[in-house]
Protein backbone atom coordinates (compact mmCIF):
# COMPACT_ATOMS: atom_id res chain seq x y z
CA UNK A 1 0.00 0.00 0.00
CA UNK A 2 2.76 2.41 0.92
CA UNK A 3 3.99 4.22 -2.15
CA UNK A 4 7.58 4.48 -3.16
CA UNK A 5 9.01 7.97 -3.58
CA UNK A 6 11.89 9.53 -5.38
CA UNK A 7 13.95 9.29 -2.21
CA UNK A 8 13.52 5.55 -2.09
CA UNK A 9 14.63 5.28 -5.67
CA UNK A 10 17.66 7.41 -4.92
CA UNK A 11 18.56 5.27 -1.96
CA UNK A 12 18.19 2.04 -3.89
CA UNK A 13 20.33 3.39 -6.69
CA UNK A 14 22.88 4.85 -4.33
CA UNK A 15 22.57 8.29 -5.90
CA UNK A 16 21.12 11.64 -4.93
CA UNK A 17 17.52 12.57 -5.50
CA UNK A 18 18.42 15.25 -7.98
CA UNK A 19 20.07 12.67 -10.19
CA UNK A 20 16.90 10.63 -10.18
CA UNK A 21 14.95 13.74 -10.98
CA UNK A 22 17.23 14.41 -13.91
CA UNK A 23 16.73 10.90 -15.17
CA UNK A 24 12.96 11.02 -15.22
CA UNK A 25 12.83 14.48 -16.71
CA UNK A 26 15.22 13.82 -19.60
CA UNK A 27 17.63 16.35 -18.31
CA UNK A 28 20.72 16.70 -20.50
CA UNK A 29 23.31 16.86 -17.73
CA UNK A 30 23.39 13.22 -16.78
CA UNK A 31 25.53 10.24 -17.51
CA UNK A 32 23.65 7.93 -19.86
CA UNK A 33 24.72 4.90 -17.87
CA UNK A 34 23.51 6.16 -14.52
CA UNK A 35 20.35 7.26 -16.19
CA UNK A 36 19.74 3.82 -17.61
CA UNK A 37 20.46 2.23 -14.29
CA UNK A 38 18.00 4.51 -12.57
CA UNK A 39 15.31 3.90 -15.14
CA UNK A 40 15.80 0.21 -14.62
CA UNK A 41 15.26 0.49 -10.90
CA UNK A 42 12.21 2.66 -11.50
CA UNK A 43 10.64 0.03 -13.74
CA UNK A 44 11.39 -2.76 -11.36
CA UNK A 45 9.92 -1.00 -8.38
CA UNK A 46 6.96 0.50 -10.19
CA UNK A 47 7.85 3.98 -9.17
CA UNK A 48 5.36 6.61 -10.35
CA UNK A 49 6.15 10.26 -9.73
CA UNK A 50 3.57 12.23 -7.81
CA UNK A 51 2.05 14.83 -10.07
CA UNK A 52 0.83 17.01 -7.26
CA UNK A 53 4.34 17.44 -5.97
CA UNK A 54 5.61 18.07 -9.47
CA UNK A 55 3.03 20.70 -10.25
CA UNK A 56 3.66 22.34 -6.95
CA UNK A 57 7.32 22.81 -7.59
CA UNK A 58 7.43 23.17 -11.32
CA UNK A 59 7.25 26.57 -12.88
CA UNK A 60 7.14 25.36 -16.44
CA UNK A 61 4.39 22.85 -17.01
CA UNK A 62 3.73 23.52 -20.68
CA UNK A 63 0.12 22.58 -20.22
CA UNK A 64 -3.03 23.81 -21.92
CA UNK A 65 -6.46 23.08 -20.52
CA UNK A 66 -9.68 22.72 -22.44
CA UNK A 67 -12.76 23.30 -20.33
CA UNK A 68 -15.77 21.70 -21.92
CA UNK A 69 -19.27 22.63 -20.97
CA UNK A 70 -21.70 20.06 -22.25
CA UNK A 71 -19.63 16.99 -22.87
CA UNK A 72 -22.52 15.16 -24.47
CA UNK A 73 -22.69 17.74 -27.22
CA UNK A 74 -21.74 15.72 -30.30
CA UNK A 75 -20.60 18.85 -32.03
CA UNK A 76 -17.61 19.11 -29.72
CA UNK A 77 -16.41 15.62 -30.48
CA UNK A 78 -14.82 16.51 -33.77
CA UNK A 79 -13.14 19.53 -32.24
CA UNK A 80 -11.54 17.69 -29.36
CA UNK A 81 -9.53 15.47 -31.64
CA UNK A 82 -8.09 18.51 -33.35
CA UNK A 83 -7.26 20.13 -30.03
CA UNK A 84 -5.34 17.06 -29.01
CA UNK A 85 -3.36 16.97 -32.22
CA UNK A 86 -2.53 20.64 -32.35
CA UNK A 87 -1.47 20.86 -28.74
CA UNK A 88 0.68 17.79 -29.02
CA UNK A 89 2.26 19.26 -32.11
CA UNK A 90 3.44 22.17 -29.99
CA UNK A 91 4.88 19.77 -27.43
CA UNK A 92 2.40 20.86 -24.85
CA UNK A 93 0.34 18.73 -22.56
CA UNK A 94 -3.43 18.76 -22.82
CA UNK A 95 -5.69 18.76 -19.79
CA UNK A 96 -9.27 17.95 -20.66
CA UNK A 97 -11.67 19.15 -18.02
CA UNK A 98 -15.42 18.77 -17.82
CA UNK A 99 -17.50 21.55 -16.47
CA UNK A 100 -20.92 20.70 -15.21
CA UNK A 101 -23.88 22.68 -16.42
CA UNK A 102 -24.33 24.30 -13.03
CA UNK A 103 -20.66 25.07 -12.49
CA UNK A 104 -19.03 28.41 -13.15
CA UNK A 105 -16.36 27.77 -15.75
CA UNK A 106 -14.25 30.69 -14.60
CA UNK A 107 -14.06 29.26 -11.10
CA UNK A 108 -12.93 25.95 -12.47
CA UNK A 109 -10.39 27.72 -14.63
CA UNK A 110 -8.95 29.64 -11.71
CA UNK A 111 -8.52 26.51 -9.64
CA UNK A 112 -7.08 24.50 -12.45
CA UNK A 113 -4.63 27.16 -13.43
CA UNK A 114 -3.11 27.08 -9.98
CA UNK A 115 -3.18 23.35 -9.68
CA UNK A 116 -1.59 22.60 -13.03
CA UNK A 117 0.34 25.79 -13.72
CA UNK A 118 -1.41 26.20 -17.03
CA UNK A 119 0.02 28.26 -19.82
CA UNK A 120 -3.32 28.79 -21.50
CA UNK A 121 -6.99 27.86 -21.45
CA UNK A 122 -9.66 27.14 -24.01
CA UNK A 123 -13.29 27.49 -23.01
CA UNK A 124 -15.42 25.27 -25.17
CA UNK A 125 -19.11 26.08 -25.08
CA UNK A 126 -20.97 27.62 -22.21
CA UNK A 127 -20.71 31.22 -21.11
CA UNK A 128 -24.03 32.69 -20.29
CA UNK A 129 -22.10 35.98 -20.50
CA UNK A 130 -22.58 36.65 -16.84
CA UNK A 131 -19.30 36.14 -14.99
CA UNK A 132 -17.79 38.64 -17.35
CA UNK A 133 -15.60 40.33 -14.80
CA UNK A 134 -14.59 36.91 -13.56
CA UNK A 135 -12.73 36.55 -16.81
CA UNK A 136 -10.46 39.41 -15.87
CA UNK A 137 -9.10 37.41 -12.96
CA UNK A 138 -7.74 34.67 -15.14
CA UNK A 139 -3.98 35.18 -15.11
CA UNK A 140 -3.11 33.27 -18.28
CA UNK A 141 -4.13 33.71 -21.92
CA UNK A 142 -7.42 32.13 -22.90
CA UNK A 143 -9.70 31.80 -25.88
CA UNK A 144 -13.44 31.36 -25.95
CA UNK A 145 -14.29 28.78 -28.56
CA UNK A 146 -17.75 28.27 -30.02
CA UNK A 147 -18.91 31.18 -27.96
CA UNK A 148 -20.20 34.49 -29.11
CA UNK A 149 -20.17 37.27 -26.61
CA UNK A 150 -23.07 39.60 -27.10
CA UNK A 151 -22.55 43.29 -26.89
CA UNK A 152 -20.00 45.63 -28.34
CA UNK A 153 -18.38 46.18 -24.97
CA UNK A 154 -16.58 42.86 -25.13
CA UNK A 155 -15.48 43.45 -28.64
CA UNK A 156 -11.88 44.15 -27.83
CA UNK A 157 -11.49 42.57 -24.46
CA UNK A 158 -11.45 38.87 -25.13
CA UNK A 159 -10.38 36.48 -27.82
CA UNK A 160 -12.97 34.16 -29.21
CA UNK A 161 -13.71 32.11 -32.27
CA UNK A 162 -17.18 31.23 -33.37
CA UNK A 163 -19.40 30.87 -36.34
CA UNK A 164 -21.36 33.88 -37.45
CA UNK A 165 -24.49 32.79 -35.67
CA UNK A 166 -26.73 35.60 -36.78
CA UNK A 167 -25.76 35.37 -40.43
CA UNK A 168 -25.89 31.60 -40.61
CA UNK A 169 -29.25 31.49 -38.95
CA UNK A 170 -30.35 34.14 -41.39
CA UNK A 171 -29.00 32.03 -44.22
CA UNK A 172 -31.00 28.98 -43.21
CA UNK A 173 -34.20 30.91 -42.60
CA UNK A 174 -33.79 32.74 -45.88
CA UNK A 175 -33.25 29.40 -47.61
CA UNK A 176 -36.43 28.01 -46.11
CA UNK A 177 -38.35 31.06 -47.23
CA UNK A 178 -36.99 30.73 -50.75
CA UNK A 179 -38.12 27.13 -50.69
CA UNK A 180 -41.60 28.50 -50.33
CA UNK A 181 -42.00 28.36 -46.57
CA UNK A 182 -43.50 31.30 -44.75
CA UNK A 183 -44.81 29.72 -41.61
CA UNK A 184 -41.56 28.66 -40.02
CA UNK A 185 -41.43 27.57 -36.41
CA UNK A 186 -38.14 27.84 -34.56
CA UNK A 187 -36.94 25.64 -31.69
CA UNK A 188 -34.68 27.61 -29.38
CA UNK A 189 -32.75 27.13 -26.20
CA UNK A 190 -34.04 28.56 -22.96
CA UNK A 191 -35.66 31.95 -22.93
CA UNK A 192 -32.94 33.64 -20.93
CA UNK A 193 -30.10 32.43 -23.09
CA UNK A 194 -28.18 35.48 -24.23
CA UNK A 195 -25.47 33.54 -25.99
CA UNK A 196 -25.60 31.76 -29.33
CA UNK A 197 -29.25 30.89 -28.84
CA UNK A 198 -30.19 34.55 -28.83
CA UNK A 199 -28.00 35.29 -31.84
CA UNK A 200 -29.53 32.56 -33.91
CA UNK A 201 -32.99 33.65 -32.98
CA UNK A 202 -32.05 37.15 -34.07
CA UNK A 203 -30.93 35.83 -37.45
CA UNK A 204 -34.25 34.08 -37.88
CA UNK A 205 -36.19 37.24 -37.14
CA UNK A 206 -33.99 39.27 -39.41
CA UNK A 207 -34.64 36.91 -42.31
CA UNK A 208 -38.39 36.99 -41.81
CA UNK A 209 -38.36 40.75 -41.69
CA UNK A 210 -36.25 41.06 -44.79
CA UNK A 211 -38.97 39.14 -46.59
CA UNK A 212 -41.69 41.17 -44.91
CA UNK A 213 -43.04 38.13 -43.14
CA UNK A 214 -44.45 38.95 -39.73
CA UNK A 215 -42.82 37.30 -36.75
CA UNK A 216 -45.37 35.12 -35.04
CA UNK A 217 -44.55 34.59 -31.36
CA UNK A 218 -46.41 31.27 -31.16
CA UNK A 219 -43.91 29.83 -33.62
CA UNK A 220 -40.97 30.68 -31.39
CA UNK A 221 -40.54 27.86 -28.92
CA UNK A 222 -38.23 28.03 -25.93
CA UNK A 223 -37.02 25.13 -23.87
CA UNK A 224 -37.23 25.10 -20.09
CA UNK A 225 -33.75 25.67 -18.78
CA UNK A 226 -33.86 22.58 -16.58
CA UNK A 227 -34.04 20.21 -19.52
CA UNK A 228 -30.83 19.53 -21.37
CA UNK A 229 -31.05 22.26 -23.94
CA UNK A 230 -30.14 21.58 -27.57
CA UNK A 231 -30.80 17.89 -26.95
CA UNK A 232 -32.84 15.38 -28.90
CA UNK A 233 -35.35 15.22 -26.12
CA UNK A 234 -35.98 18.93 -26.07
CA UNK A 235 -36.46 18.93 -29.85
CA UNK A 236 -39.00 16.19 -29.46
CA UNK A 237 -40.80 17.89 -26.62
CA UNK A 238 -41.03 21.28 -28.26
CA UNK A 239 -42.32 19.81 -31.50
CA UNK A 240 -44.84 17.83 -29.56
CA UNK A 241 -46.12 21.01 -27.98
CA UNK A 242 -46.22 22.68 -31.35
CA UNK A 243 -48.45 19.94 -32.69
CA UNK A 244 -50.62 19.74 -29.62
CA UNK A 245 -51.29 23.43 -29.74
CA UNK A 246 -52.08 23.16 -33.41
CA UNK A 247 -49.60 25.84 -34.39
CA UNK A 248 -49.73 26.32 -38.12
CA UNK A 249 -46.37 25.86 -39.84
CA UNK A 250 -44.84 24.21 -42.87
CA UNK A 251 -41.26 24.16 -41.65
CA UNK A 252 -39.40 23.82 -38.37
CA UNK A 253 -35.97 25.32 -37.84
CA UNK A 254 -34.19 23.71 -34.90
CA UNK A 255 -31.16 25.48 -33.47
CA UNK A 256 -29.18 22.26 -33.24
CA UNK A 257 -29.04 19.04 -35.21
CA UNK A 258 -30.00 17.07 -32.14
CA UNK A 259 -33.15 19.11 -31.73
CA UNK A 260 -33.90 18.65 -35.42
CA UNK A 261 -33.71 14.90 -35.03
CA UNK A 262 -36.03 15.03 -32.06
CA UNK A 263 -38.38 17.17 -34.13
CA UNK A 264 -38.44 14.74 -37.04
CA UNK A 265 -39.18 11.85 -34.74
CA UNK A 266 -42.00 13.74 -33.07
CA UNK A 267 -43.51 14.48 -36.47
CA UNK A 268 -43.23 10.87 -37.57
CA UNK A 269 -44.83 9.73 -34.33
CA UNK A 270 -47.68 12.12 -35.03
CA UNK A 271 -48.20 10.56 -38.42
CA UNK A 272 -46.61 13.38 -40.40
CA UNK A 273 -44.13 12.88 -43.17
CA UNK A 274 -40.83 14.72 -43.39
CA UNK A 275 -40.36 16.61 -45.62
CA UNK A 276 -43.60 16.01 -47.48
CA UNK A 277 -45.85 17.40 -44.77
CA UNK A 278 -43.40 19.48 -42.81
CA UNK A 279 -39.81 20.42 -43.51
CA UNK A 280 -37.16 20.36 -40.79
CA UNK A 281 -33.79 22.10 -40.67
CA UNK A 282 -30.98 21.88 -38.13
CA UNK A 283 -27.79 23.67 -37.19
CA UNK A 284 -24.20 22.45 -36.55
CA UNK A 285 -23.46 19.95 -39.27
CA UNK A 286 -22.89 16.94 -37.04
CA UNK A 287 -22.26 13.43 -38.22
CA UNK A 288 -25.61 12.32 -36.87
CA UNK A 289 -27.49 14.78 -39.02
CA UNK A 290 -25.85 13.42 -42.15
CA UNK A 291 -26.67 9.83 -41.27
CA UNK A 292 -30.21 10.45 -40.14
CA UNK A 293 -33.12 9.41 -42.28
CA UNK A 294 -34.03 11.75 -43.82
CA UNK A 295 -30.62 13.41 -43.81
CA UNK A 296 -31.04 16.71 -42.00
CA UNK A 297 -30.62 19.93 -43.96
CA UNK A 298 -28.31 21.91 -41.75
CA UNK A 299 -25.68 24.59 -41.37
CA UNK A 300 -22.24 23.11 -41.14
CA UNK A 301 -19.89 24.85 -38.77
CA UNK A 302 -16.27 24.41 -39.82
CA UNK A 303 -15.47 22.62 -36.58
CA UNK A 304 -11.98 21.37 -37.43
CA UNK A 305 -10.85 24.73 -38.75
CA UNK A 306 -12.33 26.54 -35.81
CA UNK A 307 -10.53 24.23 -33.42
CA UNK A 308 -7.25 24.73 -35.23
CA UNK A 309 -7.62 28.49 -35.21
CA UNK A 310 -8.55 28.46 -31.56
CA UNK A 311 -5.22 26.87 -30.74
CA UNK A 312 -3.35 29.17 -33.06
CA UNK A 313 -4.95 32.17 -31.43
CA UNK A 314 -4.11 30.85 -27.99
CA UNK A 315 -0.46 30.31 -28.81
CA UNK A 316 -0.23 33.72 -30.37
CA UNK A 317 -1.43 35.11 -27.07
CA UNK A 318 0.99 32.96 -25.12
CA UNK A 319 3.88 34.07 -27.27
CA UNK A 320 2.65 37.63 -26.95
CA UNK A 321 2.59 37.92 -30.68
CA UNK A 322 -0.83 39.44 -30.79
CA UNK A 323 -3.42 41.18 -28.80
CA UNK A 324 -6.89 39.78 -28.37
CA UNK A 325 -8.64 38.82 -31.55
CA UNK A 326 -12.04 37.67 -32.63
CA UNK A 327 -12.40 35.14 -35.39
CA UNK A 328 -15.85 34.70 -36.84
CA UNK A 329 -16.33 32.01 -39.42
CA UNK A 330 -18.85 31.47 -42.12
CA UNK A 331 -20.82 28.26 -42.09
CA UNK A 332 -22.11 26.33 -45.02
CA UNK A 333 -25.64 25.31 -45.82
CA UNK A 334 -25.68 21.58 -46.38
CA UNK A 335 -28.86 20.49 -48.12
CA UNK A 336 -30.19 17.18 -46.87
CA UNK A 337 -33.46 15.44 -47.45
CA UNK A 338 -35.48 17.03 -44.71
CA UNK A 339 -36.54 20.19 -46.53
CA UNK A 340 -38.90 20.26 -49.46
CA UNK A 341 -39.67 23.03 -51.90
CA UNK A 342 -43.29 24.06 -51.64
CA UNK A 343 -45.57 24.44 -54.66
Partner DNA sequence: TTGTATGCGTTATCAG
Partner DNA sequence: CTGATAACGCATACAA
Candidates 31-39, 101-109, 204-212, 304-312; binding stretch for DNA (CB under 7 A): 31-39
Name which of 299, 304, 337, 6 is nearest 167 in CA terms.
299
Q: Is residue 95 classed as helix, strand or coil in its secondary structure?
A: strand
Task: Rule CB under 8 A: say whether 102 interacts with a copy of itself.
Answer: no
Residues between 50 and 69 that touch a copy of itself (CB under 8 A): 50-53, 55-56
Judged by beta carbon distances under 5 to 8 A according to partner kind, the member of DNA, a copy of itself, none in contact with residue 222 is none
Size of the site for a copy of itself (CB under 8 A): 41
Considering the complex, what minimum distance in angstroms separates the CB of residue 44 from DNA? 16
Residues between 14 and 53 that touch a copy of itself (CB under 8 A): 46, 48-53
**By the 8 A CB rule, do 137 and 121 touch?**
no
Q: Is residue 117 classed as helix, strand or coil in its secondary structure?
A: coil
Name which of 268, 270, 259 is nearest 236 in CA terms.
259
Task: Rule CB under 7 A: say whether 26 interacts with DNA.
Answer: no
Quick one: which of 7, 98, 137, 342 contacts DNA (CB under 7 A)?
7
Neighbour-count burial of 185, counting CB atoms closer than 10 A to its CB (0-12 exposed, 13-18 middle, 19+ buried): buried
Task: Rule CB under 7 A: say whether 225 interacts with DNA.
Answer: no
Three state DSSP letters for 9-54: HHHHHCCCHHHHHHHHCCCCCCCHHHHHHHHHHHHHHCCCCCHHHH
**Identity of the residue, 34 or 93, whose beta carbon is nearer to DNA in the bound complex:** 34
Task: Rule CB under 7 A: say whether 39 interacts with DNA.
Answer: no
Candidates 4-12, 173-181, 210-218, 227-235; binding stretch for DNA (CB under 7 A): 4-12
Number of Cβ atoms within 10 Å of the Cβ of 169: 27
Q: What are phi and psi of 327, to 5 degrees?
A: -115, 120
Residues between 269 and 328 that touch a copy of itself (CB under 8 A): 287-288, 291-294
Q: In angstroms, rounded to a whole number, what is the distance separating the alpha carbons of residues 34 and 47?
A: 17
Task: Rule CB under 7 A: say whether 150 interacts with DNA.
Answer: no
Quick one: which of 1, 46, 59, 226 contacts DNA (CB under 7 A)?
59
Q: Which residues bind DNA (CB under 7 A)?
A: 3, 5-7, 14-19, 21-22, 24-25, 28-35, 47-50, 53-54, 56-60, 114
Amino acid sequence: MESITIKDVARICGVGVSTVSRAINNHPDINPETKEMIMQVIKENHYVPNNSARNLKRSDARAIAILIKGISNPFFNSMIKVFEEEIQKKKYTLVLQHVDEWQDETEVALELEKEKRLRGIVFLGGFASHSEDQLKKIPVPFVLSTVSLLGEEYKNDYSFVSVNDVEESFRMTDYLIRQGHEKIAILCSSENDVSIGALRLAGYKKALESHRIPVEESRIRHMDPEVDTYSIKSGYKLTRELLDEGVDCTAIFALSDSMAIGAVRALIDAGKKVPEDISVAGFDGTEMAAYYNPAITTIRQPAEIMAKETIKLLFDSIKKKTKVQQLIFDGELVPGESVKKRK
